[in-house]
Structure formats: structure tokens, C-alpha cells
Amino acid sequence: MSQCMPAFYNSPYLIKEPFNWHLTDDAPEDVIREFIEYMNGDELTEKGKKYIKKLQQKLENK
């Protein structure tokens, strides 16, 4: 992937586990949106796709 380093990368809300980046439950909406946009540009596993869908539903329910 050839994208610039996203702002959320150094955020305290990002948990950087190998092959399992995810956000803390208290991540603010702007971080969630940026994370979703960034991750949608990548080839995601089925687990990753489910996680992105979960985050999108979280935003819709706000």
C-alpha cells in the first residue's frame, strides 16, 4: 500500500498488534472515520471487514 502515514497512526486510540490493528472502544468519531477510510484502501481479511463494518455501525448509531 502506498499511502501517507495517517494521523491516527500515532494516536493513543490505535492498538498496533501484528496483522490486527484496531481502535480502543473510546476512540473519537474523527479517528474512527479516518481509520475506516485508510483501512478500506487495503486488502482486508474477513475479520478485518467485519471489524470495519462494526465501526461503521457504531458511527451510524451516534
Mean pLDDT of 12-33: 94
Q: Which residue is associated with the grid cell 477510510?
A: 37
Query: Domain extents for the chain?
Result: 7-60
Compute the average pLDDT of residues 38-42: 82
3 band by pLDDT with thresholds 50, 70 and 90: low
Q: Which helix (H) or strand (E) holds 14?
A: strand 14-17
Q: Does the pLDDT of residue 1 top 80, yes or no? A: no
The residue whose grid cell reads 451516534 is 62
- On the question of pLDDT at 27 being above 50, the answer is yes
Contact assessment for residue 13 and residue 23, using Cβ atoms and an 8 Å cutoff:
yes
Please tell me the predicted confidence (pLDDT) of residue 43.
Answer: 77
Q: What is the 3-state secondary structure (H, E, C) of 16-58?
A: EECCEEEECCCCCHHHHHHHHHHHHCCCCCHHHHHHHHHHHHH
Report the pLDDT value the prediction gives residue 44, as an integer from 0 to 100: 78
